[in-house]
Amino acid sequence: MADVKAASDTNPAEASSTRSTRTDPQRAGGNPQGRKILLGVLALLAAGGVGSWIVSHWGLEETDNAQLQADLTEISSRVAGTIVRVPVQDNQEVKPGDLLVLLDPRDARAQLLQAQADLVAAEREAMAMRAQAGSTASRADAAGNEALAAQQSASGELARAAANLRRLESLVREGGVSQQEVDQARATFLKAQGDFTSSRASRQSAQASLSQVGVDVQKAGAAAAKVQQAAASMARARLELSYAQIVAPSLGRVGARNAEPGRQVQPGEPLMTLVSSTPWVEANFKETQLQALYPGQNAEVRLDAFPGRVLQGKVVSIAPASGARFALLPPENATGNFTKVVQRVTTRIALDPRIDPAIKAQLVPGLSANVRVRRR
């Protein structure tokens, strides 16, 4: 019994030692079957990820050398003046025709009034010259007709007196008339000859007055030209008065505003910049990617400012030269120190106008972008 009890007292420890000895090899060596399953799952996941990446990038050309761009219109004055009001602030959205800057219009308004007065004076002078030319023409015409009639009458009287004188001279030789009658006929002939000469002089004077008509017509033409000149001056003065109001040429937002009331400005001096509300993307692809680009091609645009958002667009145009050709100092490869550098070609991409308004309001020029296009 004692032996049996001793054996029973030692059996649990020995059994525990035995179990520990049996399970330690399994813990040390692990489960080979579970490890194979785990490695298989990891391999499948890796293959799936690689396959997914290949599928999503297969046939795509991509560049991260891209930026969001927009038209930047520099607003300046066309005339010199003093700013009296600036009704817009930085970042404010404006519509075409909205007032941006108001200049003092008093000087331009005074010039317009002066131009209007000059036009009225020129019109009255032209009217007077036209009337004078018409009156001169009428007088010259009347004088010419009168001189012609007088000359014709004197010519007829001279012919009659000459015929009468010849007849009386032939009769006086035959004793049919007295010498006194002949002398009287000769006096009548001489008077008729003088009247004819006087009528010729009147005719020449009338012709001279006709040339004066031409002079007056030329003066009337010059007066009419002065009217046109005065009208042009008035139109220019009215235009300069309109320049006192500087308005927005297109839809956009105000930026870089440096116009303040009281400031003196000169023509061409920048007052603010108007940023267009229609942005686009300029993507600079490598020359090795150029064969995959064509106008009308769909494009995907991802902006760093909106991670996870994909904007749709289309390729509008491709630059006619590489960016190096448009640089201020284009590289000259014929100098002997040639180093081949992969060139970049700028591609313009128009964004789909159906953009979330909340995002569109934050699309400002200069944002970095990533562009993808699919090859043909």
pLDDT digit string, tens, across residues 123-148: 998 888 888 777 666 666 666 666 66
Query: What span, in angstroms and rounded, lies between the C-alpha atoms of 100 and 87?
Result: 6
75: part of which helix (H) or strand (E)? Answer: strand 72-76
DSSP secondary-structure letter at 293? -
Terminal CA-to-CA distance of the chain, rounded, Å? 95
Query: What span, in angstroms and rounded, lies between the C-alpha atoms of 224 and 128?
Result: 11
**Mean pLDDT, residues 102-122:** 94
**Residue 222: pLDDT above 70?**
yes
Query: What span, in angstroms and rounded, lies between the C-alpha atoms of 150 and 139?
Result: 16
State residue 246's pLDDT score.
95
**Mean pLDDT, residues 41-69:** 74
Cβ neighbour number for residue 87 with a 10 Å cutoff: 11
Triad 350, 299, 345: Cα angle to 5°: 75
Q: Which of 12-16, 30-34, 177-181, 215-219 shows the lowest per-residue confidence on average (mean pLDDT)?
A: 12-16
User: pTM higher than 0.85, yes or no?
Assistant: no
What confidence tier does 21 reach under pLDDT thresholds 50, 70, 90? Answer: very low
**34 phi and psi, to 5 degrees?**
-65, -35
pLDDT cut 70: percent of the chain above it: 75
Query: What span, in angstroms and rounded, lies between the C-alpha atoms of 256 and 90?
Result: 7
State residue 324's pLDDT score.
82
Query: What span, in angstroms and rounded, lies between the C-alpha atoms of 150 and 195?
Result: 9
Domains, the chain, with CATH or none: 60-72+275-374 (2.40.30.170), 73-105+245-259 (2.40.50.100), 106-241 (1.10.287.620)
Q: Tell me: the pLDDT tens digits for 243-265?
A: 999 999 999 999 999 999 999 99
Instruction: Please name the residues in contact with 240: beta carbons below 8 A apart, sequence gap of 6 or more.
Output: 79, 108, 111, 112
Q: Which of 107-111, 228-232, 335-339 shows the lowest per-residue confidence on average (mean pLDDT)?
A: 335-339
State residue 215's pLDDT score.
73
State residue 32's pLDDT score.
73
What confidence tier does 336 reach under pLDDT thresholds 50, 70, 90? Answer: low
Cβ neighbour number for residue 67 with a 10 Å cutoff: 14
**Residue 8: pLDDT above 80?**
no
Closest by CA position to 282, among listed 298, 297, 301: 301
Is 360 within 8 Å of 292 (Cβ atoms)?
no
Query: What span, in angstroms and rounded, lies between the C-alpha atoms of 152 and 158?
Result: 10
State residue 238's pLDDT score.
94
SS3 265: strand
Two structure tokens written together for 187: 């006096």
Closest by CA position to 253, among listed 363, 358, 368, 354: 363
Q: Tell me: the pLDDT tens digits for 29-50?
A: 456 777 777 777 777 777 666 6
Q: What is the DSSP string of 300-326?
A: EEEETTSTT--EEEEEEEE-SS-TTTT
State residue 30's pLDDT score.
53
Query: What span, in angstroms and rounded, lies between the C-alpha atoms of 314 and 301?
Result: 10
- Of residues 213 and 14, the one with the higher pLDDT is 213
SS3 283: strand
State residue 11's pLDDT score.
47
What confidence tier does 198 reach under pLDDT thresholds 50, 70, 90? Answer: confident
Which segments of the chain does DSSP mark as H helices, in order? 2-29, 32-57, 106-174, 179-242, 357-360
**Residue 318: pLDDT above 50?**
yes
Report the chain's mean pLDDT, rounded to a whole number: 80
State residue 85's pLDDT score.
95
Q: How far from 306 is each of 42, 282, 368, CA to CA, in Å?
A: 32, 17, 10
